[in-house]
């Protein structure tokens, strides 16, 4: 495989879209439905607001998440999966199943 083939490899591009400590976790939480920024932040207690916002922006730029501004007082911003993002949820679940079977002593979250 040449470098150009690697750069344009669909698997490599997809892994790049998921690369980031919090992206798969964010997608899993959004699989249940739209969440406001503060709700997501509370679900991920060890992530800073800055990092969460960066990861959400990257997911939005990749077309996996869409941002909704709710016009009210105080203003609220919600995030939800796009159709493309929803199509990744079964893939993430398969990765989770593979990890549970193959990672042995590595601690896997419930």
In a domain, 52, yes or no: yes
In a domain, 108, yes or no: no
Residue 86: pLDDT above 90? yes
Q: Flag the least confident range among 2-6, 24-28, 73-77.
A: 2-6
pTM, rounded to two decimals: 0.84
pLDDT confidence band for 107 (50 / 70 / 90): low
In angstroms, the Cα distances linking 98 to 2, 93, 102, 104 are 29, 9, 6, 11
In a domain, 58, yes or no: yes
In a domain, 107, yes or no: no
CATH number at residue 96: 1.10.10.10
| Count of C-beta atoms within a 10 Å radius of residue 65 | 22
Expressed as residue numbers, the domain containing 50 is 3-102
pLDDT digits (tens, 9 = 90+) for 20-59: 889 999 999 999 999 999 999 999 988 999 999 999 999 9
Domain count, the chain: 1
Please give the backbone phi and psi of residue 78, each rounded to the nearest 5 degrees, phi first.
-115, 155
In a domain, 109, yes or no: no
């Amino acid at each position: 495989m040449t470098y150009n083939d690697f750069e344009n490899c669909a698997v490599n591009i997809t892994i790049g879209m998921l690369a980031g400590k919090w992206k798969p976790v964010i997608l899993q939480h959004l699989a249940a439905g739209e969440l406001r920024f503060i709700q997501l932040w509370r679900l991920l207690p060890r992530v800073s607001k800055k990092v969460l916002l960066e990861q959400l922006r990257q997911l939005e730029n990749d077309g996996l998440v869409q941002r909704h501004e709710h016009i009210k007082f105080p203003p609220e911003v919600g995030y939800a999966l796009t159709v493309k993002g929803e199509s990744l949820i079964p893939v993430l679940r398969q990765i989770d199943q593979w990890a549970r079977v193959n990672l042995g002593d590595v601690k896997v979250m419930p």
